Structure 1
Amino acid sequence: MTAAAEHIPQRSSKIPAAPRIDADIDFDDSAAIAEAAVEDMRTVETGVAVLVVKRGPNAGTQFQLDKPVVSVGRHPASDVFLDDITVSRRHAEFRREDGTFHIVDLGSLNNTYLNREPVDSAALSEGDELQIGNFRLLFLVGTLAR
C-alpha cells in the first residue's frame, strides 16, 4: 500500500437498517382537524364562511371568506395563499352572491374539485370538500349565519 493510500478512510459496507413503520398508525388527521374547525365556527360572524385545510401543506390552517370575492392561488397577493406548485398563481375565487357562496375556477391547470368532481363554477354547501392542487379544504359556515 502506498503512503497516500494509507490516509484514505475506508468506507463501511454496512448499510443501516431502515426504521420500522408501524402499519397500525393512522396518518389521516382529517377527522380531528374537521372536528376542531367545527368547534371554532361558533365564533364566526354572520355571513362569513371558513375554509379549513384538511390535507396538504399547512393542514389545520383556517381561512375566513369575509369579503364578497376572495382570491385563491399561489400568488402571494392571493387572499387564500396556497404555496404549492400544484396550485395555479390565480387558481380560483370564492364569490358571495345573495348569501350563497360559489367557487369559480379561473382556468387553473390542475382544475378545482368540489366533492371530488371537477367544476368550473358551483354553489357551495356546508361541509363541502374542495380540492385545489394538493390541498383538501373543508367549507364551513358559521353557526351564527344559519
Structure 2
Amino acid sequence: MANFDQETVITEIGKRPMPAAPGNDSLVVIYAKEESLRGKRYKLEKSPLTIGRVPDNDVVLDDDAVSRRHAQVERRGEEWFIVDVGSRNGTLHNEGELAREAALTHGDRIKVGSTIFKYLTGADAESAYFEEVFKLTITDGLTQVNNRRHLDEALEREFLRARRHSRPLSLLVLDIDFFKRINDQYGHLAGDHVLRELASLVQGRVRRDETVARYGGEEFVVLLPETAVDGAVSLAENLRARIEAHSFVFQGVTIPVTVSIGCAEVSAGDGTGPDLFRRADEKLYQAKQGGRNRVCH
C-alpha cells in the first residue's frame, strides 16, 4: 500500500482540472488553530480541489496531523465528494471517520487535522457564508459553544443586571483534568474529540438563558443568571458526575475523562464581572489542589 506521507499522490496524469458547474459551492473554514484561516472561503471552481500539508495543494494546512496530500474534493456530475487519499490520520465527515469518500450536502462539516471546514451550496450559499463569518465572532468553531468574546459580553451584561435588580448570578469554571496527558497519550485529534463531546454534554444540561462558553484550551465557563450558589453547586456536581460516567470513544478507544469545577456567586465585594470570574477560578484551583475530579465553592 502506498505511503501518502512520503510519496506524491498522482491522479490521472495529464488530465486537466474539470471546471465545476456554475454556482456558489464552497468550503468555509469554521475552525483553525491558525487564526488567520478562520472564515477563509475556498470556492469550488475546479475539480479536484486538493488539501494537504505541502505547498502544491490548493488548500495548504501547516499542521503535523495533516498528510502531504491528505484529501480532495471532487465533482461528479451534479455532486461534490470529499475523498480521503490515504492520509495517515484520516478525515472526519460530520464527526464520523471517513472510510474513503462521501457525497457532500449543504452544511456538512469536514475535519482535516485540526481544521474544520463547512460545505455551503445552493442559491443561499452567499448569505450562508456571511452568516458563518458572523458566527465565528461569537462561537468557538471546534466545540460550537460560545467563545470567550461572547462570554465576556454576557458576563458584563448579566453582572450589571444582577446588581441593578438584586438578583442572584453564579458562574462555573470547568477544566478537564490532565488534558495534556490525553493529548500526549491518544493524540491531538482525540483531544479535539473530547473537547467537542464534553461541550455537547455541558450544553445539553443548561437552560436557554444560561451561557456555555469555551474560555480557552480545555477550560469552559457556565454563566447562570437567576441561580444562587446552592443551585450552581448542584448543577456542577451533576456535570462532574455525568462527565466521569460518560464514555468518550475515539477510533474505538475509550478515553477516561474527569473535570474539576470552581463555583462562585456574585457578592457585595465584586465590583465587576471579572471579579466574579476570578473567585470562581480560585475555587477551580482549590479543586485541582484537592485531588481533581471535584467541585469547590
TM-score range, shorter chain: 0.5 to 0.7
Residues 96/48 of structure 1: CA separation in 2 closer, same or farther (3 Å cut) = farther
Tell me the distance in 2 between the aligned counterparts of 1:48 and 1:77.
Answer: 24
Residue 53 of structure 1 aligns with an amino acid whose one-letter code is V
Whichever structure has more helix as a proportion of its residues is 2
- Provide runs of 4+ in structure 1 moved above 4 Å: none
Shift of 1:47: 3.6
Task: Work out whether residues 112 and 131 of structure 1, in 8 Å CA contact, stay in contact via their aligned partners in 2.
Answer: yes
User: Match for residue 143 of structure 1?
Assistant: 123
Instruction: List per-residue Cα deviations over 1:2-23 (Å, max 9, x = no partner).
Output: xxxxxxxxxxxxxxxxxxxxxx
Q: How many residues align?
A: 101
- Where 2:117 maps in the other structure, the secondary structure is strand
SS in 2 for 1:104: strand
Q: Identify the structure with the greater strand proportion.
A: 1
* TM-score normalized with structure 2 length: 0.32
Aligned to 1:98: 77
Other-structure match for 1:46: 22
Q: What root-mean-square deviation, in Å, do the aligned CA atoms of Structure 1 and Structure 2 show? A: 1.8
Are positions 1:129 and 2:109 aligned together? yes
**Alignment map for 1:1-146 (pairs within 5 Å):** 46-56=22-32, 57=34, 58-119=37-98, 120-143=100-123
Q: Higher relative contact order by CA 8 Å / sep ≥ 6: 1 or 2?
A: 1
Q: Give CA deviations for 1:60-85 in whole Å, capped at 9, x if unaligned.
A: 11111111211111110101111211
Letter paired with 2:52: G
Deviation at 1:46, TM superposition (A): 2.7
Q: Distance in 1 between matches of 2:119 and 2:73?
A: 11
Q: Sequence identity, in percent?
A: 39
Q: What TM-score do the two structures reach when normalised by structure 1? A: 0.64
